[in-house]
Amino acid sequence: MKNLILFTAIILTFTSCFKSKGEIEMTYEKAIAVYGNLDEIRQRPILLGKQAIESPGKIFIGQDYILIGEKGKGIHIFNNLDMTAPERMSFIQIPFNKEFYVKGNMIYAESLYDLMKIDISDVYNPVLVSRVKNIFGNPYKNDQGESLIRFDYVVSTDKFELGSPEAKEIKKAGKIHVDYLEEIIPTSTVPSSFTSGRSTLNKIAVDYGHIYVLADDEMHVLSNYYNNVSFVKSINLGDGMETVYTENGRIFIGSERAMHIFSAANPANPTRISDYEHVKSCDPVLPYANVAYLTLRSTTNGGCNNNGIDQLVVVDITNESNPQEIESIPMDSPYGMAVVNQHLFVGQGSNGLTIFNAVFPNSIYQAVSYNNIVAYDIMRHPTDPNVILMTSDNGLEQYSIDYNSFNLTPLSTINY
């Protein structure tokens, strides 16, 4: 009898180890893996005929042409020789592209797992000169040998056991990625080119004989000599990387919470010099001379800081090891920036455009403000300082500017 009681007690103790911890109902974003033939995607032709602009992304302004990104598909080519009447010409097909960068006669663009280098010496006849495969990660495969090519996103509400992998992942990232078996792909292992981030940021920079590409939490470094592009290393940076610029032997990286300055004295192995921390933001960093300009925009105005801060920050980087804030200038809703003809242009979305005199970069002052236009991203013309381009609710708008009177004269609009 004693043995039976002891045996029963052991069973009860053993089964109590597997007692449910309880359930929790969670609403989350579910990313469902979609698979396809990666070889076929890589073999698609570069040049196509005219395409409609449906989901515009990154924009680049050439001397007599304009490139407008189409999210997930490629780049529209416009002839801009006559700035009063830009002409749609053709389309560069780059499957699943979000980010691209133009340096000289080359486009550097992400495409799924790969980085593509495209020669646009003849912009109307682009040629693929190099493809670095799997720079953004190795392809996930399904049981048919097909590769993960995208995720379909749905909002779902389900119950999970407390402490389960699903509950932990949702609590950490607000979403889960699942493969063809409905098993979790950890968000931290999903290639950055597959995540649903913004596509109007500068996440690629080319300088010092190298290419610098931002992922979510690291920077990939590639050597870049003529048609030979090869992977060098990856540098862990932390979460929330947004923009990268190069200037004067340095690399400036804007994250959600800081500006990071790296030395490119050894371009293949950039080293961190300093960090300038700020409130959470998702807006650009623009280095210019001995300063860096940062815009901080609140969630109220479409930004991502919850502090209600909308301002332009001027940071002294003369001593790059110890950046110091010079001043913070309150603004309505600062978006993109550009320095043209010793003036700093700041788009304020539906609140207009503000121009600062930046003859002395560390002591700027407002020259004029327009509240009758809409200006988000601001772009300079590469050869004509009297032309400024900006994105609005209507599309891409070109203006001529008289710096004596500060009159803006509309030239044309590419609608989308």
Tens-binned pLDDT, residue by residue, of the chain (416 aa):
444 444 344 444 444 444 456 889 999 999 999 999 999 999 999 999 999 999 999 999 999 999 999 999 999 999 999 999 999 999 999 999 989 999 999 999 999 999 999 999 999 999 999 999 998 888 989 999 999 999 999 999 999 998 898 898 888 878 899 999 999 988 777 877 776 554 456 889 999 999 999 887 889 999 998 888 999 999 988 777 788 999 889 999 988 778 899 999 999 999 999 988 876 666 678 899 999 999 888 878 777 766 788 999 999 999 989 999 999 999 999 999 999 999 999 999 999 999 999 999 999 999 999 999 999 999 999 999 999 999 999 999 999 999 999 999 999 999 99
- Of the candidates 307, 359, 303, the one whose C-alpha atom is nearest the C-alpha of residue 334 is 303
Neighbours of 5 (CB within 10 A): 9
Specify the amino acid at residue 351.
N
Q: For 275, left (φ over 0), alpha (ψ -120 to 50), or beta?
A: beta
CA–CA distances in Å: residue 138 to residues 31, 102, 179, 255, 308: 18, 26, 15, 25, 41
State how far Cα 312 lies from the chain centre: 20
Q: Which residues contact 370 (CB under 8 A, 6 or more apart)?
A: 352, 353, 354, 408
Q: Which residues contact 380 (CB under 8 A, 6 or more apart)?
A: 61, 338, 339, 340, 388, 389
Q: In this predicted structure, what is the pLDDT of residue 363?
A: 96
CA–CA–CA angle 265, 269, 271 (5° rounding)? 70
**What is the value of pTM for the model shown?**
0.87
